[in-house]
Amino acid sequence: MFSEILPILKAPVTRVKEIADSNNPAVGIEFIATKMVVCLLFLLIALLKIRGAVSGYSSYIDIKIPYLKSILCVILATAGIDVIDALLLKVITALFGAKASFQAYIDVVGATDMFAIFIIIIEGILIGIAPEIALVFFGILAPLVTYIQFAQYRAVADIDEDKKSVCILYREIMFHDYCRTGCVPAGEKHIEQYGRRTDQQSGRCF
């Protein structure tokens, strides 16, 4: 994986197409797993900070931080969504006659994740120093990831150029609809349950 970072940075489209043509998803899977690990590390830091912030009230409120549920949510929101993204690219493109394998789209998503990892690290550092600057950088850098993925997809998908744009449009609609109706409500429910449990414990104490 690490040996591919510099080649992909130098040629984010050409090198990814070469990797995808080899029909070996190893590089893509490694980048997907790395993004998941980076997100889990930031989650752990955040949970430890929350634990430290509420430790002073432990004698009044029995606050239990849902470590396992939080970890599972991050795994599903990173590796899970990446696999679904690759599957959507494969299925939608196949409907238009493409023959590229699922492994090839795993490489596309994984290579995109490499750039996302850099953004996550930068954002994770900036948000603790200057949240306003972090927000600005996110607004600038986030569209870059989408642009890079589209360029890589165009290189890998073996269909007419006009159909590629339509496929990406369908993928964006389905992907964001899935996130809106599936992942986001699940995360909101998890946070709401944790908040309700904390409020109940606070009420019993005060």
Q: What is the pLDDT along the chain (206 residues), one digit of tens a residue?
A: 678 889 998 998 999 999 998 888 999 999 999 999 999 999 998 888 877 776 766 555 666 777 888 888 899 889 999 999 999 999 999 888 888 789 999 999 999 999 999 999 998 888 888 888 888 888 888 888 888 989 999 999 888 888 888 888 888 888 777 666 655 555 555 555 545 554 454 444 44
Q: What are phi and psi of 160, to 5 degrees?
A: -60, 145
- What pLDDT, on the 0 to 100 scale, is given for residue 58? 59
- What pLDDT, on the 0 to 100 scale, is given for residue 107? 93
Measure the CA–CA gap between 51 and 73, rounded to whole angstroms: 19
pTM: 0.80
Helix, strand or coil, per DSSP, at residue 25: coil
CA dist list (Å): 151 to 47, 68, 168, 198: 37, 37, 11, 46
- What pLDDT, on the 0 to 100 scale, is given for residue 206? 46
Measure the CA–CA gap between 95 and 72, rounded to whole angstroms: 32
Task: Give which of 164, 181, 169, 115 is closest to 143, Cα–Cα.
Answer: 115
Measure the CA–CA gap between 31 and 164, rounded to whole angstroms: 24
